[in-house]
Chains A and B, each alone.
Chain A
Amino acid sequence: MAKSKSRNLVNLNVNPCKMCMPMGAALAFEGVEDSMVLIHGSQGCSTYIRRHIATHFNEPIDIASSSLSEQGTVYGGAANLVQGLKNVAAIYSPKVIGVLTTCLAETIGEDITHIIKESGVASELKGIDIIPVPTPGYAASEYNGYFVALKKIVAFYAREPKVKTNHINVIVTDLTPADIRELKRILSLFEVEYTIFPDISETLDAPYKKGFDIKTEGGTTKSQLRRMSAAIATIEFGWMTPLGLSPGRYLEETFDVPLYSCPLPIGLNGTDLFLEAISKIYDKQIPVELKKARGRMLDAMIDSHKLNREGRAVIYGNPELIYAVSNLCIENGIEPVVIATGTDTNPLVEQLDQQLSRYRYNPIILKDCDFESIQEIAVEQKTNLLIGNSDGKFIKEKEDIPLVRIGFPIHDNIGASRQLYIGYEGSLRFLDLITNTLIDKKHEAYRDKMYNKYFVN
C-alpha cells in the first residue's frame, strides 16, 4: 500500500517541483497555429517563461508582456493591455492571441475578458481571435494552467455542429514534438482522420530553412479547432486531469462527443490502452506494424528484465507523466520507490493501487512537494535512479544518483524536443535508456566494489 505525504516544511517550499499557471497556458498556445501569447503583468513573467521554454526546445519563443509598471498597477492596466494587443498584432499579425493573466493582474482585479470586450480592441483587430485565459500564478501549477488554457481554446471555437464528422480529437499533454510526430504515424497506420490538440510537432521543432520567419508553420489550425465539437470521439491523455479542467469532458457534456480518457501511451499497457481505444472507436483491427512493434517491445523487456529489477526509482513531475512512467517502471520490475509531484492534487494513490499491490510495491507518494523533500527520501530509501525533468540535476549532483530525463523543463541536455517516449517504439527507447543507465552505474562501480569488498577486507 502506498503512503501519501506532503513536503517537509509547512510554510516553506525549498527548490520548487512545479511552475506557475501562465507557464502551462503559454505552452498550450505554442501548439495553436499562428498564435501569440501576451501575458498581462509585469515584464519579468513573460521573460522568465520565454527563457524556460526557449532553453528546453532551442527554438525562438516570442511571448509579449503588457509590461505593467507602478502606474498600471495603481490605476489599472487596461490601457497597457490594449496597447500591447495592438503592438503584438502590428509586429506579428497572428491569427490568435492568447491573453494570460498573472498574480499581479489578478490581485489588482483586472478583468481581461471585460477589458478586451469593452475597449473595442477585438473588433479593431479584425481577423485575430483574442482568447483570454485567467491564470493567476498563485492559484495552481503549470499543469492546471495548461488544461485551463486548452479548455478555454476549445470552448472558444466549439459550436453546435451541423454534421458529425468521422475524425477523432486527440488531446495531449506532456508530449515532445517527436512524440506528436509518432502519434501522427500511429494514427495514419490506423487510416483514421484526426485533430491533435495542441500540436507542437512543427512549432517547437521547426526545420532549418533559408529566410527564417518568426511565424512558424504547424500547430492545430482554427478549422481543426472548430471541428472538434463534430468529432466521432475524443481521446484525451488526461487520466489524472481533474474533471473540471478537462476539455474532452467539456466536449462530451456540451456536444455529446464521447470521451475516452487514457493515460499517456508510455509503457506496454499505456500504449495498449491507447491503441485499443482507437480500435474500439472505429471498430478496426490494430495494424500489423504496431503488433510487430509490440512484439519487439516484449522481446526487449525479456532481454532486460533482470537488469531492470535492480532499479529503485524516484519518479517526479506532472501527474499525467509520473503515472505513465510509474506504470512503465512497474511493468519492467523497476521499483517506483518515490512518486512525486509539486502540484497539490495527486490521485496516484488510488489509480496505481492495483498495479502496486500486484507486485507488492509500497512507494511513497508525494504531492505538493518540493525537491528538498524528494532529495531526503531519495537518499533515505537508497534509490539508484531519478526519472524526471532537469530540475533533478541538483539531487544528481549532490547524491550521485543518475538522472534519466523526461518532462519539462530539460535545460541541462540538448535535444529535448527530439526525444521519443510514446508508443511501443518510444517506450522501448526510453526503457533502454533507463536500463543502460543502470548498467553503466553498475559497471562503473564493479571492479572497485568487488576489490574493496572481498580482497581488501
Chain B
Amino acid sequence: MEKNGLLEGRKKFIMHKENEVPITISCDENSLSGAVSQRACVYCGARVVLNPITDAIHLVHGPIGCASYTWDIRGSLSSDSQLYRNSFSTDLREKDIVFGGEKKLASAITEAYAEYHPKVIFVYATCVVGVIGDDIDAVCKNAEKELGIRVLPVKSPGFSGNKRSGYKAGCNAILQLMGETKIVETIPGSINYLGDFNLAAEAWIIKSYLNEMGVKLLTVLTGDSNYESLLQAPRAELNIVQCAGSMTYLAKQMQSAYQIPFDKVRFLGVDETVIALRKIANLLGDTDIIKRTEKLIERKLTEVTEVLKQYRERVQGHKAAIYVGGGFKAIALIKQFNNLGIDTVVIGTQTGDQEEYEMIRSLTKEGTVILDDTNPNELQKFMLEKGADILVGGVKERPLAYKLGLAFIDHNHERKHALSGFEGAINFAKEVDLTVNSPVWDYIN
C-alpha cells in the first residue's frame, strides 16, 4: 500500500488516460482478496441471463442464501407467466452437505413439477454443490425422462470464475434448451434480439421500433422470453446483440450451431439507437424496411431533439464518474454524457474486456481514470481527485455517492425506468436533471 492509498495488487487494474499512450489495463481476472470488489459471482451472472425467462422454474441447488438474496430483485417484465419471479431453493442443510444433495434435488424437482407444471426447470449449481460433487447432470437427465419436461443444469458454482463465466453458464443452458443443431426452417427476414432483459420494458420499447420498421422480431434473449419463444430462436435469419458482455458468446454459438450471423448494437442513447436501427435495416437489406426505418428515426428525432436540448442546458458542465457492470454500458454512457455536455472523468467496469477498455480510452479525455473491478476506496479517491459531481452505478455504489454529496444515476437491474432507445435517452437526461439540480445540494455546503 502506497501513500496515495492504492493496494499494490490493484495498480495494474487502474489506468490514467494520457494521449498517444496506448492503454494497458488488466481485466477479466479474479478479484483481489480483501480489496472489496463490487462484483458478484458466477451464479449471479447465470441468474442475470436466465432469470427473465418467464415460464421457467429457477431452482437454486444449494443452501438458502443464494436463493434468498436473488429473489425478485430485478425489474424484468413479463407479458405472460409470473413464475420466474419466485425463488426456488433446495435449501441444503448440514446433513445434505455430508451425505450429498442429489436425492433432495431430485425430490425438489418432482415437487416443483407437481405444484407448478413448468415446461422447463433450470437447476443452478452453487458453490457447495461444486465441491460435494453432486452429479446434477445425471439428476436433471433422469428428471427429464421421468417428467417429460426440460430440466437443465446450470454450471454456476460461485467460485468457478467471475460473473462473466456465469453469463456463459447461463448461455450454455439456453443452447442446451434450443438444441445442438438446427432442425427447423429459417423464417426469412426475422431476427432475434440478444442481451436485453426487458428491465422496465426496454425490450418492449425496442420491439415497438422493430414493428414500425417492419422487422419481424422472433425472440428476445432473454427479456420476456419463454420456453416456446426460445425454441423458435434457431429459426431467425439474424441475431442482433446488445449487452455484449453476456451474450456475444451465445451469438457465436448460435452462429456455429444454426448458421445465424450476428452483429452488435447498442440502444443506449439517441446516437447509438439511430446507428443500431440503421444497422439492422441495412443488414436485412430490404428497401421497404430501410425506408420505414428512416421515417421512424426522423419522427423520433423530432420528438426527442428539442427535449434533450432543454435538458442539456440544465445539466451541462458537470463531471461524471461511471461504474457499471459491463463495458458496453460504460461506452454508451460516455457518449450520452457527452451529448448532455458532461465530461466523464472516472470510468470503470466490473467485467469489461480489453477491446472495450480500448474503446473507452479513445472516447475519453486526457486525464480520465479508467478502472477495472474497482472498489469503494478507489472510487472515492478518484472521484474526489477528479472533481466528479455525479456517479452512475449500481445499488452498492449509491450510498457512497450520497455520503460524498454527489448526484447519482441508478444504472442497475432494479430500476423502474427504461434507459434504452429514444425514450430511455429522455429518461436518462431527466434523471441527470432530477439529481444534479436537486435543491438538496444547496444545503450541504
Contacts and interface: CB of A to CB of B under 8 A. Distances in A.
Interface of A: 9-16, 18-20, 22-23, 38, 41-52, 54-55, 57-70, 72-73, 80-81, 83-88, 90-92, 102-104, 107-108, 136-139, 141, 206, 208, 210, 212, 214, 342, 372, 391, 394
Interface of B: 1, 5, 7, 9, 30-44, 59, 62-72, 85-94, 96-97, 104-105, 107-108, 111-112, 115, 126-128, 130-132, 157-162, 375-377, 380, 395-396, 398-400, 402-405, 444
Nearest to A141: B64
Nearest to A344: B93
B399 A104 contact: no
Nearest to B64: A16
A47 B396 contact: yes
A12 B111 contact: yes
A139 B65 CA distance: 11
B7 A103 contact: no
Given A11-B111, A38-B34, A16 B377 contact: no
A48 B112 contact: no
A46 to B, nearest CB: 8
B444 to A, nearest CB: 6
A138 B127 CA distance: 11
A18 B87 CA distance: 12
A439 to B, nearest CB: 28
Contacts of B69: 19, 48-49, 51-52
19 contacts: A11-B105, A12-B90, A12-B111, A12-B112, A15-B86, A16-B91, A23-B65, A55-B395, A59-B403, A66-B34, A83-B33, A85-B34, A87-B32, A91-B1, A92-B377, A103-B65, A136-B97, A212-B405, A394-B85
B33 A67 contact: yes
Q: What 9 A-B pairs come out closest when comparing CB atoms? A: A44-B41, A87-B34, A20-B65, A84-B34, A42-B158, A84-B33, A90-B1, A138-B63, A48-B69
Contacts of B160: 69-70
Contacts, number: 236
Given A45-B65, A47-B396, A88-B34, 10 more contacts: A12-B88, A22-B65, A44-B43, A50-B396, A61-B399, A62-B375, A69-B159, A87-B7, A91-B34, A104-B127
A10 B37 contact: no
B127 A103 contact: yes
A108 to B, nearest CB: 6
Contacts of B38: 47
Contacts of B5: 91
Given A52-B69, A86-B34, A104-B158, A138 B93 contact: yes
Contacts of A10: 107, 111
A12 B108 contact: yes
B225 to A, nearest CB: 22
B40 A80 contact: no
B376 A19 contact: no
Nearest to A57: B399
Contacts of B32: 67, 83, 87
Contact of B30 (A19, A51, A69, A139): A69
Contacts of A91: 1, 5, 7, 34-36, 375, 377
Nearest to B114: A9
A58 B30 CA distance: 28
B118 to A, nearest CB: 13
A212 B130 CA distance: 41
A11 B97 contact: no
Nearest to A79: B33
Nearest to A69: B30
Given A60-B376, A137-B63, A54 B7 contact: no
A68 B34 contact: no
Contact of A47 (B39, B42, B108, B400): B39
Nearest to B132: A107
B88 A65 contact: no
A59 B399 contact: yes
A290 to B, nearest CB: 35
Contacts of B40: 43-44, 47-48
A48 B65 contact: yes
A58 B399 contact: yes
A91 to B, nearest CB: 5
A138 B128 contact: yes
Contacts of A206: 403
Contacts of A47: 37-41, 44, 396
A19 B70 CA distance: 11
A83 B34 contact: yes
A206 B105 CA distance: 44
Nearest to B106: A11
Contacts of B36: 46, 62-65, 88, 91
| Residue in B32, B104, B158, B399 whose Cβ sees the most chain A Cβ within 10 Å | B158
Contacts of A81: 33
Contacts of A55: 395
Contact of A61 (B85, B86, B396, B405): B396
Nearest to A92: B377
B400 A43 contact: no
Contacts of B130: 73
A88 B375 CA distance: 12
A20 B90 contact: no
Contacts of A12: 59, 88-91, 107-108, 111-112, 115
Contacts of B35: 64, 67, 87, 91
Contacts of A18: 64, 68
Contact of A13 (B88, B94, B105, B158): B88
A178 to B, nearest CB: 18
B159 A20 contact: no
A41 B59 CA distance: 22
B67 to A, nearest CB: 6
A14 B128 CA distance: 20
